[in-house]
Amino acid sequence: MTTLDEFTIQQLRLYPQATGELSGLLRGIGLAAKMVSSLVNKAAIADILGEAGNINIQGESVQKLDQLANQTFINVLRNSIYCAGMVSEENDDIIVFDDPKNNQSKYVVLMDPLDGSANIDVNMPIGTIFSIYRRVSELGKPCTKEDFLQKGDNQFGAGYVLYGSSTMFIYGTKRHSVNGFTLDNSVGEFYLSNPHMQIPESGKSYSFDRKYYYSVSDKVRRYIDKCDYSEEGKEDNFSNKNYGSMVADMHRIFFKGGIFMYPSRIGKPKGKLRLMYECNPMAFLAEISGGQAIEESGRRIMDEQPENIHERSSIFIGSKNLINDFLEI
């Protein structure tokens, strides 16, 4: 069995010019993910459920676990020497690891440390989503906002961690496609369990909160009606799967195919999800594993030029054929 660390070092050996910085960075993200996984597993007995008592820049109430996960990733990455700085859903501004060793790093990371916060208190799946870019500013100096405000297309790597019935680390690069690792808690290592993950070309399920059916645009409603349609007695309509955590919904789609939708709606012209650390990393993983990711107008998510680190975007993502069906409408 290959561990996450062995896997990234093996990849490194294929490129004589590689410095090992990326595998060091992934080791850091993997370590922080294991620490968060352990916190999630004991949350109910460690008095770390419930609200922390503050509101983040998104105007959402922060949970204790949101805060702990955020602090864990920041501390580990700051300490790891392989990351020049971070953007987190929980921090208003960019976090610059301004010290002589981290200023030499060529990578920056954007992340949602704990996605699906509403699931925390009810022991339902939650996750971490991350995106890695090569910085554009000068090495040796503190990183800058421009390092983060890059199109999704420039992502060097992306991934997510699912804290579900087991903890999984999914990571992808353009060169090495998407690979899945499962945490063996008794050893404390992620092992390669799902090499070269591919989103099935089609599927028969859609993830969408039907509460919003009446406030989305006509075209989205028409697509949902199409998903719901069945000839009498045939049950050939789609299943509606909505776990309330993008990581869990997308994880299912990576294995079974389907479409995940978080559209715009009345009063929320760009939906809810954040372009830089929710939509872009998932779009990157979807595209390199054969799927598609677009926003409501039909533009590729990863073509969007971000103007703000916390900006939002509508998203339609998943199996290629289902996105094409939506595009037709």
Residues near Mg ion, by CB under 5 A: 112, 115
DSSP structure class, residue 273: S
- Choose, by CB under 6 A, the member of 106, 135, 252, 272 that binds ligand AHM: 272
Shortest distance in whole angstroms from residue 164 CB to ligand AHM: 13
Instruction: For residue 93, state whether it binds ligand AHM (rule: CB under 6 A).
Output: no
- Choose, by CB under 6 A, the member of 155, 167, 245, 292 that binds ligand AHM: 245
Number of residues this chain uses to bind ligand AHM (CB under 6 A):
12
- Choose, by CB under 6 A, the member of 244, 256, 300, 311 that binds ligand AHM: 244
Shortest distance in whole angstroms from residue 199 CB to ligand AHM: 17
Q: What phi and psi, each to the nearest 5 degrees, are found at residue 116?
A: 85, 35
Instruction: For residue 246, state whether it binds ligand AHM (rule: CB under 6 A).
Output: yes
Within the chain, residue ranges assigned H as helices are 4-13, 21-42, 64-80, 145-148, 218-228, 246-256, 280-288, 320-328
- The span of 6-14, 80-88, 193-201, 244-252 binding ligand AHM (CB under 6 A) equals 244-252
Which residue minimizes CB distance to Mg ion? 115
Q: Which is nearer to ligand AHM, 56 or 80 (CB)?
A: 56
The pairing of beta strand 292-294 with beta strand 315-318: antiparallel
DSSP structure class, residue 3: B
- Taken in order 169, 50, 240, 131, the sign of the CA dihedral is negative
- Choose, by CB under 6 A, the member of 93, 98, 146, 209 that binds ligand AHM: 209
Specify whether the CB–CB gap between 113 and 27 falls below 8 A: no
Distance CA 137, CA 27 (A): 24
Distance CA 100, CA 263 (A): 43
Note the residues at the interface with ligand AHM (CB under 6 A): 60, 89, 112, 115-117, 209, 244-246, 262, 272
